[in-house]
Amino acid sequence: MSRFPAKVRIVEVGPRDGLQHESAFVPTAEKIAFVNRLAEAGHTTIEVSAFVSPKWVPQMADAAEVFAGITRRPGVRYTALVPNLQGLARARAARVDEVAVFPAASETFSKRNIHRTAVEALADAKRISDEARAAGLRVRAYLSTSFGCPFEGAVAPARVADLTARLIDLGAYEVALSDTIGIAHPRLVSDVLYEVTRRVPSTSLALHFHDTRGTALVNVYAGLEAGVSTFDASAGGLGGCPYAPGATGNLATEDLVYLLDGLGVVTGMRLEAIAAASRAIEPHLGHPLPSRVFRAMQATAARG
Ligand code: HMG
Ligand code: MG
């Protein structure tokens, strides 16, 4: 297994990418408890919320209250999505450790998601990055629709590589190549990473998979083989995107940790503690969480 990185960093996106998509509004106190449990489970980066328009994403309207309520553990970075300078001002007031910008590789998705063309979104990302870094904040970037767009179909890997390089140039320390609608498969992951790593080192990349078609874990395997060592995941497999028709949950943190534990790759995560966070949030969702490993753990616990 020496062809894999010895250690993987997991970015927990459940409180943001997961909860933004739920039809039930999860009470603020439950969100706060969820974030605290995820930190206890060993996460070092937790995306807590999004300072986006509450008109567009009402589930994230309490971002400031969630940040005010969490217990900040040393060694954990508490991050948030920011679409514009107004969002950055709100994020700074809430004392976030890091912000994430989120342009897209395809025009139609960019316009639907943030009402900006791809070029306008990059200009906004630069303004956010300049101001955030001047204030001492780290900047992460997502590149949505890196593996395909719900409206336009295939996206050229060379375009993904070009936009990724531009995001690094404007100050992002890492770009999360994002499979917004869970359409990627290992060959596509290899093809995209081949193009992108000609421009940007794999140490500056993360992979953000949604598990819509059940390919997220094999895509991680392809990413590990290409030298990527940062992966996004959400507890229990919560997740989706309100502006991508048919988008379902993120890759589940439990499923990812189970795979990496089995491969002998160090994550610093405690599987049982992640499942405890999922178990506590599940009753507030109105549906069972989809993570296969979480479901198996629940079934085993029920058998006693
Ligand atoms: P807009 O309507 O073009 O913005 O929306 P605007 O600048 O014209 O402002 C309109 C109103 O929104 C104004 O209020 C602003 O104050 C307010 P009004 O005068 O009408 O009362 N507003 C804000 N309020 C609070 N916080 C802000 C903010 N900005 C403006 N930051 C905008 C543009 C980007 C704001 C809007 O489209 C938006 O918030 N979109 C949210 C998109 C979103 O959150 N999508 C889901 C997350 S992305 C995702 O899930 C993908 C990812 O997981 C990776 C992947 O899987 O691909 C990251
Ligand atoms: Mg996502």
Q: What is the pLDDT of residue 23?
A: 83
Q: Give 112's contacts (C-beta < 8 A, 6+ positions apart).
A: 151, 243
- Tell me: pLDDT of 2 over 90: no
Half-sphere exposure of 181 (CA within 13 A, CB side): 19
Question: Is the C-beta atom of 88 inside 6 A of ligand 1?
Answer: no
Q: What is the pLDDT of residue 24?
A: 84
Given pLDDT bands bounded at 50, 70 and 90, which one contains residue 241? low
- Tell me: pLDDT of 1 over 60: no
**Average pLDDT over every residue of 47-67:** 97
User: Is the C-alpha dihedral spanning 254, 60, 98, 129 positive or negative?
Assistant: positive
Tell me the CA–centroid distance for residue 127 and ligand 2, in Å: 23
**Average pLDDT over every residue of 5-34:** 95
- Tell me: pLDDT of 129 over 50: yes
Q: What is the pLDDT of residue 304?
A: 77
* Ranges of each domain in the chain: 9-303
Question: Is the C-beta atom of 58 inside 6 A of ligand 1?
Answer: no
**Average pLDDT over every residue of 151-167:** 97
Question: Chain-wide mean pLDDT for the chain?
Answer: 95
Tell me the CA–centroid distance for residue 82 and ligand 1, in Å: 8
The region of weakest confidence among 76-80, 109-113, 170-174 is 109-113
Given pLDDT bands bounded at 50, 70 and 90, which one contains residue 246? low
Active site (annotated) includes residue 149: no
**Which residue in 100, 8, 104 sits closest to 48, CA to CA?**
100
Tell me the CA–centroid distance for residue 111 and ligand 1, in Å: 11
| CA of 20, closest atom in ligand 1 | 46
Q: pLDDT of 197-233, one tens digit each?
A: 999 999 999 999 999 999 999 999 999 999 999 999 9
**Are the beta carbons of 41 and 270 closer than 8 angstroms?**
yes
The gap between the terminal CA atoms of the chain, to the nearest Å, is 34
Query: Which of 3.30.200.20, 3.30.70.520, 2.30.30.60, 3.20.20.70 would CATH assign to domain 9-303?
Result: 3.20.20.70
- Tell me: pLDDT of 21 over 90: no
Q: Which residues pair with 141 in a beta bridge?
A: 101, 175
**Average pLDDT over every residue of 111-119:** 93
